[in-house]
Structure 1
C-alpha cells in the first residue's frame, strides 16, 4: 500500500497515462479467429524470409 501511495505522489508516474497514446482498434473485428491467425502467420512468414539462411540463432560468433 505504501508503494501505491508513493507512486501516486511521484508526478511522472501519476501522469503516465496522460503521456501514452490511446489504443486504436482495428477498423473491423473479425468474427472468425482463424482469419486473424492466418493473417498473423503470413506476416510472420514474410519476416522469416528476410533473414539469412539458418536464422539469427545459427550465426557464427566470430
Structure 2
C-alpha cells in the first residue's frame, strides 16, 4: 500500500501492483483503477512519482 499526501490535510491510500522497478498499477475499486504510477527523474536527478497527471516529490520529515 502506498500513502500519498498532496497537502497537509489531503492524503489518500492506494494499493499498488509492481510491474517493474519504476512502474506500478493501481489496484482496487473506484476512481483511478488501473492507472499506472511511474517514477521518473527530473532534470536535477530527483525521483518524481507521476500519477493521474500529477507529479509528487518526496518530502522528508
Higher relative contact order (CA 8 A, sep 6+): 2
> Taking structure 2 as the reference length, what is the TM-score of the superposition?
0.20
Name the structure where strand makes up a greater proportion of residues.
2
